[in-house]
């Protein structure tokens, strides 16, 4: 899937590939194959194929992966506003709605509803990619973003 490369998308991809991914072993392990497919100011969309490393003993998406996606996507939507800082988590909530299984393609959408001088507020939705778009999990994420 190709996307038109705009300034926000390029900035988010650069931040992910040059700063975040190489410096975060957990993101590298769980989100190594994530694809950022679009970004506008304050919003990102990504795809992740559910792999064996992502599932629990029941064969469904592990809750820790959903929470990791909430954390990651919230930060990326903040970066899409032009910041070179994804922030530090102060509060994160994940609600698990349905399951995903190995082989499923997930679509992760995050929106930064407000990026202030010290705090940013984001919402994240994880759903099955495609026409159905059944929600797997959704949540909110607050991050401390005060500039250095």
| Tens-digit pLDDT profile for residues 46-101 | 999 999 999 999 999 999 999 999 999 999 999 999 999 999 999 999 999 999 99
**Distance of alpha carbon 82 from alpha carbon 79, whole angstroms:** 6
pTM, full prediction:
0.93
| Tens-digit pLDDT profile for residues 122-144 | 999 999 998 789 999 999 999 99
**Distance of alpha carbon 15 from alpha carbon 11, whole angstroms:** 6
Checking if the pLDDT of 24 tops 50, the result is yes
**Distance of alpha carbon 37 from alpha carbon 32, whole angstroms:** 15
Checking if the pLDDT of 31 tops 50, the result is yes
* DSSP per-residue string spanning 78-118: HHTTT-S---EEEEEEEEE-S--BTTPEEEEEEEEEEE-SS
User: Taking all residues of the chain, what is their mean pLDDT, rounded to a whole number?
Assistant: 94
Is the separation of the CB atoms in 92 and 141 below 8 Å?
Answer: yes
**Distance of alpha carbon 106 from alpha carbon 46, whole angstroms:** 8
């Amino acid at each position: 899937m190709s996307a038109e490369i705009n300034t926000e998308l390029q900035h988010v991809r650069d931040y992910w590939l040059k700063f975040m991914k190489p410096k975060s072993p957990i993101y590298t392990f769980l989100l190594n194959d994530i694809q950022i497919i679009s970004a506008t100011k304050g919003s990102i969309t990504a795809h992740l194929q559910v792999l064996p490393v992502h599932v629990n003993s029941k064969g469904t998406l592990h809750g820790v992966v959903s929470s990791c996606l909430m954390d990651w996507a919230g930060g990326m939507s903040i970066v899409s506003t032009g910041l070179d800082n994804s922030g530090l988590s102060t509060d994160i909530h994940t609600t698990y709605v349905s399951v995903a299984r190995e082989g499923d393609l997930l679509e992760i959408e995050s929106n930064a509803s407000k990026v202030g001088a010290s705090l940013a507020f984001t919402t994240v939705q994880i759903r099955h990619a495609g026409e159905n778009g059944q929600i797997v999990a959704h949540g909110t994420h607050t991050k401390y973003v005060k500039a250095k």
